[in-house]
Amino acid sequence: MPVSDDSNSSGIPTRVLWQICGGVLIVVALVSVGSGVFDSSPPVSKPTTPARVSAATSVPVTTSPSQPPPAPAFAAVPADLEREVEVQLEPALYQYGYLRPGEVMTQTIRLTNLDAGPIRLKGTWRGCSCTTLDVSPQVLQPGESIDVPATMTAGLTPTTKTSSVKLELVGRPPVVLPVEGEIIRGVRARPRDIDTYRYSGPEGNFIPTGRTVLDAPEGPAFRVLSVNGEPVESSTSSTQVVTWDVSAYDQATGLNPAGEMVPKFWLVETDHPETPVIELTVRHRAIRPVPRGDRPWFFVEQRINVGGIKAGGWVEFTLPVKWIGGKIGVGDTLQAVCSQSDAFKSKLVSNQPKGRSSLATVRITPNPGIEGPFHGLVTIVGDSFEATLDVIGHAQRTSSQ
């Protein structure tokens, strides 16, 4: 006969009854967990590392009066460290106007603190190496003003100075002080150089001819007397135009049919009292600078125009020499300056240390019979190294041109 499940007195099979009881127990357990029957303590989340946010964007934490604020997990950086101070500059920049080569000029700016709090001046600066600030470490309160003198030492080569120096502050970005000026020799050239190519790159952009405008912005009016030794007739004017032509020289090799190299300078003779000769640098692919190599010293000036020299006289110039690492004369000292030109003699008069540089004083003496503009090389000789420097000048004429 068939076997049936055991039944209780209610008539419900035993297997079904056990299944009903099991389901009830599961429901009870789930309800107990959800209502916290087995654990009365609140749930604990895993601690996390606080995010690094700047002080300007941090979110404030609200605490009860009886509870002290939590200690910061990291050192907060004040927002002012990134914000430039508000100052007023009168005038708005150091304006030096026209300077002569080697001239030293001091200008002053009035600096007023417009910031909400005091600013601390370190008394140091950085930026343009030819300009230094004269300011001592001090605290400038809101609304207070100080004079900030700046001294520019003009280089020996004509150029336009458009730069800046930065006055260092404690805990704040530096204050930028613009600088502007122009170094001229009485007569200036526009453009200053003769560019024989439109851009650096493949051949085909060679410019064999052009013109340069000369002017004397501070006077007096002048005449052009000669160009590269060839006499020129011109009327007296504050502006002159000079044409140049290098078409006889190959655009790649720089040589003319006679095997002569394109000149490094176009020499223009004038009757201006401050500029008896002005040199126009010829920029040509064949003229390349000589690398410094391992030489422990160098000079920024690539040429020196010594100006006019009276008949039978001489002239001296002082060349700043910079030493690598600021160690003057270590391993190599300057010994002599030798002329490579038949137009003049040269002599190293002295070489005096100055900070991390030294000042080499050189004497140039035209040879007998030399008159008018001249150009030649000198070799600056050290113990183990040497370097060349272009020298341009004008020997007084004693005879009619």
Q: Check whether residue 308 and residue 225 sit in a common domain.
A: no
Torsion of CA 341, 344, 350, 353, to 10 degrees: -50
DSSP state of 27: H
Per-residue pLDDT of 292-342, as tens digits, reads 999 999 998 999 999 999 999 999 999 999 988 877 776 678 999 999 999
Name, in order, each residue with C-beta under 8 angstroms of 179's C-beta and a sequence gap of 6 or more: 93, 94, 96, 128, 131, 150, 152, 161, 162, 163, 164, 165
Beta strand spans in 247-333 (E): 265-272, 275-283, 297-298, 303-309, 315-323
19 assigned to some structural domain:
no
Per-residue pLDDT of 125-176, as tens digits, reads 877 678 989 999 999 999 999 999 999 999 999 999 999 999 999 999 999 9
17 assigned to some structural domain:
no
Closest Cα to residue 153, out of 113, 103, 83, 193?
103
Q: Check whether residue 337 and residue 310 sit in a common domain.
A: yes
From 119, 150, 183, the end of a domain falls on 183
CB 174 within 8 A of CB 81: no
pLDDT score for 228: 95
pLDDT score for 62: 35
Answer yes or no: is pLDDT of 262 > 70.
yes
Tokens for 218, please give them: 């501070």
16 assigned to some structural domain:
no
Q: Check whether residue 325 and residue 385 sit in a common domain.
A: yes
12 assigned to some structural domain:
no
Q: Check whether residue 151 and residue 210 sit in a common domain.
A: no
CB 113 within 8 A of CB 141: yes
The pTM of this model reads 0.75
Per-residue pLDDT of 267-296, as tens digits, reads 999 999 999 999 999 999 899 888 899 999
Answer yes or no: is pLDDT of 54 > 80.
no
CATH of the domain at 100: 2.60.40.10
User: How far is 299 from 382, CA to CA, in rounded Å?
Assistant: 13
Site of tokens 């009168």: 90
23: β partners? none
Total domains, the chain: 3
Does the N-terminal peptide bond of residue 320 adopt cis geometry, omega within 30 degrees of 0?
Answer: no
72 assigned to some structural domain:
no
pLDDT score for 356: 80
> Three-class SS of residue 69?
coil
User: How far is 211 from 191, CA to CA, in rounded Å?
Assistant: 9
User: How far is 59 from 39, CA to CA, in rounded Å?
Assistant: 34
User: Side chain identity at 292, as an amino acid letter?
Assistant: R
Higher pLDDT, 15 or 269: 269
50 assigned to some structural domain:
no
28 assigned to some structural domain:
no
Q: Check whether residue 223 and residue 169 sit in a common domain.
A: no
Its domain, for residue 124, covers 81-183
State what percent of residues in the chain have pLDDT above 90: 64
From 238, 265, 288, the end of a domain falls on 288
User: How far is 95 from 332, CA to CA, in rounded Å?
Assistant: 40
Q: Do β-strands 275-283 and 193-195 pair in parallel, antiparallel, or remain unpaired?
A: parallel
CB 270 within 8 A of CB 224: yes
From 124, 157, 183, the end of a domain falls on 183
Tokens for 239, please give them: 């502006």
User: pLDDT-derived band of residue 79, with 50, 70 and 90 as boundaries?
Assistant: low
Which of 50-54, 188-192, 193-197, 223-227 bottoms out in mean pLDDT, i.e. has the lowest? Answer: 50-54
pLDDT score for 90: 97
